[in-house]
Amino acid sequence: MEKEKLVLVGNGMAGVRTIEEILERDPERYQMTIIGEEKYPNYNRIMLSNILQKKTTIEEIITNPFDWYEEMGIELFINNPATRLDTKKKEIELQNGERISYDKCILATGSRAFILPIPGSNLEGVAAFRTIEDTEKILAATNTYKKAAVIGGGLLGLEAAKGLVDQGMDVTVIHLENWLMETQLNEKAGALLKEDLEKQGLKFRMGAKTEEILGEKRVTGLRFADGTELETDLVIMSIGIRPETTLAKDAGLGVRRGICVDDYLATSDPFIFSVGECVEHRGTCYGLVAPLYEQAKVLADRLTDHETTGYEGSMTYTALKVSGCDLFSAGCIQASEDIKTIEAYDEWNHCYKKVFIQDNQVVGTILYGDTTEENRFLKLITQKLDISDLNPIALLAAANGEEDASNDVTSWDDSETVCGCNGVTKGTILHAIQDKELTSVADVTKHTKAGGSCGKCKDKIADLLGYALGGEAPVSSKGICGCTDLTRDEIVLKIHQKGLKSVAEVYQALHFKNPEGCSKCRPAINFYLNVAFPKEHQDEKASRYVNERLYANIQNDGTYSVIPRMRGGKTDPQQLLLIAKAAEKYDVPLVKITGSQRIGLYGVKKQDLPKIWKDLDMSAAEAYAKAVRSVKTCVGKNFCRFGTQDSMGLGIKLEERYEFIDTPHKFKMGISACPRSCAESCVKDFGVIGVENGFQIYIGGNGGTTVQESHFLETVETEEEVIEICGAFLEYYRETGVYAERTAPWIDRLGFDHVKDVLLDETKRAELLAKLEQAGKRDEPWRQTVQDKDLQQKLYTVGSGESK
């Protein structure tokens, strides 16, 4: 029997979840086609703010990679949106003119970010925050521009604003209402949130109406209704979403604010269904993930002839993904004649709680500062429990240990929901653990989807694993990535114990879930192997980030920056001539002095990289690598009247000795000839300040988004002592650091006193230096690659789409 043709228009979270649910129920029922507008496979859109805050990567939010579509037998069209729906012919026309026929069609076209229709909204530098592409553009802008304005003080706008602050930008949030997140919070909670966000560096213009975006080609500022202006380089619009209904409307389907559907997600056409943010059900459109997944389950039941009571609407709740701002809002939070409230404010602990009650039932709640009781209130709301026997104090602060019990997931009823985003109950998780013999949080997520969206419930899943398995279960967030639950220390220990000498051996011997690994763990494993077996392990270029393979940093327009090494910031006329000739020959659009006292060539085409390096005939600075990147120096006593030591000479010696040494993260040095510290020595990973009797040594500084003043280690008399301590510091950091961990948090983790004891112990220092000498340096970039065409080709073709 020929399969029915099922076509999904929209490759987003709601639509693909519907396909997953259908495949679980009846995998042989349909011949499936998915049409996507973006160039990416299905990904977790709610984690975009984590990418902006650099807590995760694009690869990590991909929920269904391209291989999944192939394995499921799904025909996938990406970067090729549907442009026309012909309900009579039952055909869908794509942007490239291709026509796809269907027996049944699901519209999951999602929503669009709303852009204010005001003058200047089309200027360069005005962006939405809705897709991976939006996020990449915003991140690219943070490398060039310093002032940002976020229009909209809702959930997504605040997460975007915090991400921009984390990237070092001066950020102002413009909000039309008098308090933040006005649809989820009341005025008191909104004020507390604003206060906490201000402490984290955000600025606010409340009650401000934006009337014009200023600028000729690129945005330069905003003008408000009261005539005042705000200077800015970047504008993020985050003032809500609008259901994308164009395709449905043009096809003659019933559309109001969204695509109208019944309780079984059917549209006005019997062969067309709809789910997600584009849907209007009983007059309501939903923009949160949990209701969309509830719709997906109902539609999957309907399309596979499983019994279903239909979709009856959803109770929504919200949490903000910004550290230091714990809030929870659920249900109805508007008081009225029928809805009464109880509230409490603990000024000492900066906590606020408000409960909304109707007919002796909790119908809504707002928690700020302390959200530990969110599960208790969620249970009260969803199960419509009678609270007539509770007095206000007992309701606000659960008596007789009830609060503790409500947070212990092992004591919950099997019917209670653990993962709200995906609607997964405790019973479902326990049955999966037992029936499928699951042993990790990642396994539970794979088989039940619990923890696969916002990830807040992973600790509870771990508790259930421990409860079911009779012991403490590993939490996947401990692992270095989603491919394994093993920590850095566990992996390094097993590498030594088992004598593992390649990335592939590690994946096989340690039973990684993905036998190929991912872009997060491959570079880490390669680094740990380099440190563990510096002679035996052959550095695996394909496991390095693309920037390290190309010896250049990719820029926001797809071109690259080429930065030749200038040790200690010192150059000569011959180097300058080579740079000038190369810049002219390859039509380099920008030549700039970098913050590390080098000359950078920006805008180099990828195909020109080998040729320009050959013409330059200079070593590549490690401006792209997790390695010793740069040594910044002042001119020193040979030229400066305040200088007490030859800082430039010492800086050049340090750079010559330790350049091309791999480290867990970038490693920067600053060498100053006097306490005026012109090389900013006290915010470097390794800093030196010259004084009359020698050199003061500082370690663990960071001048990035989180500024960390370095720790004073010791004053030494000779340059040789400085070089030795630097080498020992480097090796100890290499041996004990977590990949992608800077020296500042590394020292915080190990303790400064411990690191100091190690470095100042002459025996231990000698041991560390000997190990570093064994490690040696990596091959100097481009000396061999510009002549080795096979290696050159490999560098350019293996995984060139990875992001740094």
Q: Name the band, by pLDDT with cuts 50, 70 and 90, for residue 804.
A: very low
Q: Which residues contact 607 (CB under 8 A, 6 or more apart)?
A: none
pLDDT above 70 for 477 = no
With CA atoms as reference, report the closest residue to 289 among 25, 110, 154: 110
The annotation status of 457 as a binding-site residue, yes or no, is no
Residue 753: the pLDDT is 92
Residue 789: the pLDDT is 40
Residues of the chain with CATH 1.10.10.1100: 417-478
Mean pLDDT of all residues belonging to the chain: 86
- Of residues 707 and 117, more confidence is placed in 117
pLDDT above 60 for 22 = yes
Can you tell me whether residue 61 is helix, strand or coil? Answer: helix
The annotation status of 521 as a binding-site residue, yes or no, is no
> Tell me, what amino acid is at 711?
H
Contact criterion met (CB below 8 Å) for 720 and 744: no
pLDDT above 50 for 801 = no
Residue 419: the pLDDT is 81
CATH number of 628-777: 3.30.413.10
Average pLDDT of span 542-569: 78
Q: What is the pLDDT of residues 394-427, one digit of tens each?
A: 677 654 434 444 556 777 778 777 887 777 888 8
Average pLDDT of span 728-757: 92
Q: What is the pLDDT of residues 62-91, one digit of tens each?
A: 988 998 999 999 999 999 999 999 999 999
Output the pTM of the full model. Answer: 0.58
Neighbours of 702 (CB within 10 A): 18
Q: Name the band, by pLDDT with cuts 50, 70 and 90, for residue 793.
A: very low
Which residue spans within 17-96 are E strands per DSSP?
Answer: 30-35, 42-43, 62-64, 75-77, 82-86, 91-94
Least confident of 516-520, 618-622, 647-651: 516-520
Environment class of residue 2 by beta-carbon count within 10 Å: exposed (0-12), middle (13-18) or buried (19+)?
exposed
Residue 233: the pLDDT is 94
Q: Which residues contact 798 (CB under 8 A, 6 or more apart)?
A: 541, 542, 549
Q: Name the band, by pLDDT with cuts 50, 70 and 90, for residue 202.
A: very high
CATH number of 4-111+243-303: 3.50.50.60
Q: Name the band, by pLDDT with cuts 50, 70 and 90, for residue 60.
A: confident
Residues of the chain with CATH 3.30.390.30: 326-407
Q: Name the band, by pLDDT with cuts 50, 70 and 90, for residue 534.
A: confident
Neighbours of 407 (CB within 10 A): 17
Q: Name the band, by pLDDT with cuts 50, 70 and 90, for residue 478.
A: low
Residues of the chain with CATH 3.30.413.10: 628-777
* Pairwise CA distance, residues 155 & 171, whole Å: 16
Q: Which fold has domain 326-407?
A: Enolase-like; domain 1 (3.30.390)
Average pLDDT of span 744-768: 92
H or E stretch covering 260? strand 259-261
Residues of the chain with CATH 3.50.50.60: 4-111+243-303, 126-239
- Of residues 41 and 789, more confidence is placed in 41
Average pLDDT of span 185-204: 92
Q: Name the band, by pLDDT with cuts 50, 70 and 90, for residue 802.
A: very low
Q: Which fold has domain 126-239?
A: FAD/NAD(P)-binding domain (3.50.50)
The annotation status of 634 as a binding-site residue, yes or no, is yes
Segment of 494-503, 531-540, 689-698 carrying the highest mean pLDDT: 689-698
High-pLDDT (> 90) share of the chain, %: 50
With CA atoms as reference, report the closest residue to 737 among 748, 721, 727, 726: 748
The annotation status of 518 as a binding-site residue, yes or no, is no
Domain 417-478 has CATH 2.60.40.420: no
Average pLDDT of span 258-272: 97
Phi, psi of 643 (to 5 degrees): -65, 140
